[in-house]
Amino acid sequence: MSPPRPYLPSSTPMVLRLAQCGVNPLEIDGILLTHEHQDHACGIDVWFKQFSTPIYCNRLTAEILRKSNPDQKKDWRIFTTGADFKIGDLDIQSFSVPHDAVEPVGFVLHHGKAALGFLTDLGFATKLVYERVRQVHTLVIETNHDEQLLQNDTKRPWSVKQRIMSRHGHLSNAAAANVIVELLGTNLRRTILGHLSSDCNSPELAIGTVRERIDPLLGGQAVEVVCATRKEVTPRILVGDTPAQGTFESASVEPETIIEIAQTAPADTGECAGTEPTAV
């Protein structure tokens, strides 16, 4: 009789997707948090029932999240917003973005000459945002909603719609397209659209809006536009002057692979190290 398989909590979808990419959760060097809102941070409590991955965030974000689960030990790595720090061989820049959170940030990740920008969530792109992402090769940017669909939505009260469309809310498809336009003629080669509303947007609409805006302005420059979705693994992207790789749809993922990862995960993460990232 086969031994019972260990129970996996609700982090299982994330572990499965990592396995599709050939990534063992135990080998992840760090988790970057942009802000404390639950649609971005709700998974860390479940994650830490299995894994002890360091969490990188600023102090105000950490304070809010610590209050939600004060008894769970986590390895917090606190950075100062605006400071540079390292995770492994990545150099990371953090910068403030306008959003209705305690201290929201965006990131630019550098490795050698390659750079990736991460922009979500934000109500509009400030001068600082443009300065930080000016030289990225790949930009991950939110295209949260289509403005017309949001205005016509019957599920949300007007106050919620106002918050989403405000300067501390979320970028619409058109607003994100305008950000991308400002980066044309630089190093930008790829954009990954994300954080789409399930009610007031679709991948086809987001990509179509961006392409309609940028294509007449490209000239000889090629800019790839792809969309990240909630339920599918995003294609592997090599940042820099490299072609996008295929998706992982053909990858073979055996249940035993996931069980092996779960069996080797530490049962108790122990005390928090509380190590500050090294500024560079």
Q: How confident is the model at residue 18 (pLDDT cuts 50, 70, 90)?
A: confident
- pLDDT: is 266 or 42 the higher one? 42
Name the residue among 214, 5, 239 with its Cα closest to residue 109: 239
Q: How confident is the model at residue 255 (pLDDT cuts 50, 70, 90)?
A: very low
**pLDDT at residue 2 greater than cutoff 70:** no
Find out whether 197 and 145 touch, Cβ atoms under 8 Å: yes
So what's the pLDDT on residue 12?
67
Q: What is the 3-state secondary structure (H, E, C) of 128-169?
A: HHHHHHCCCCEEEEECCECHHHHHHCCCCCHHHHHHHHCCCC
Find out whether 53 and 28 touch, Cβ atoms under 8 Å: yes
Residue range 244-267: mean pLDDT, rounded = 38
Find out whether 184 and 217 touch, Cβ atoms under 8 Å: yes
Residue range 179-202: mean pLDDT, rounded = 95
**pLDDT at residue 267 greater than cutoff 50:** no
State the DSSP code for 6.
P
| H-run or E-run covering 93 | strand 90-96
Number of other residues whose CB lies within 10 A of the CB of residue 43: 15
pLDDT more than 70, % of the chain: 81
Find out whether 176 and 122 touch, Cβ atoms under 8 Å: no
Q: How confident is the model at residue 69 (pLDDT cuts 50, 70, 90)?
A: confident
Q: How confident is the model at residue 236 (pLDDT cuts 50, 70, 90)?
A: confident
Domain residue ranges of the chain, discontinuous segments joined by +: 12-264
- pLDDT: is 234 or 112 the higher one? 112
Cα 247 from Cα 267, distance rounded (Å) = 33
So what's the pLDDT on residue 247?
39
**pLDDT at residue 116 greater than cutoff 60:** yes
Cα 143 from Cα 173, distance rounded (Å) = 5
Query: What's the start-to-end Cα distance of the chain, in Å?
Result: 55
Q: What are phi and psi of 129, to 5 degrees?
A: -60, -50
Residue range 212-221: mean pLDDT, rounded = 92
So what's the pLDDT on residue 117?
97
Residue range 66-82: mean pLDDT, rounded = 84
Residue range 244-265: mean pLDDT, rounded = 39
**pLDDT at residue 254 greater than cutoff 80:** no
Q: How confident is the model at residue 72 (pLDDT cuts 50, 70, 90)?
A: low
Question: Top-level CATH class of 12-264?
Answer: alpha beta
Range scoring the smallest mean pLDDT among 24-33, 66-75, 174-183: 66-75
| H-run or E-run covering 190 | strand 190-194
- pLDDT: is 198 or 11 the higher one? 198
Q: How confident is the model at residue 241 (pLDDT cuts 50, 70, 90)?
A: low
Residue range 237-242: mean pLDDT, rounded = 73
Helix-strand-coil percent breakdown of the chain, rounded to 5? 30, 20, 50
pLDDT more than 90, % of the chain: 55
Cα 114 from Cα 139, distance rounded (Å) = 12
- pTM beyond cutoff 0.75: yes
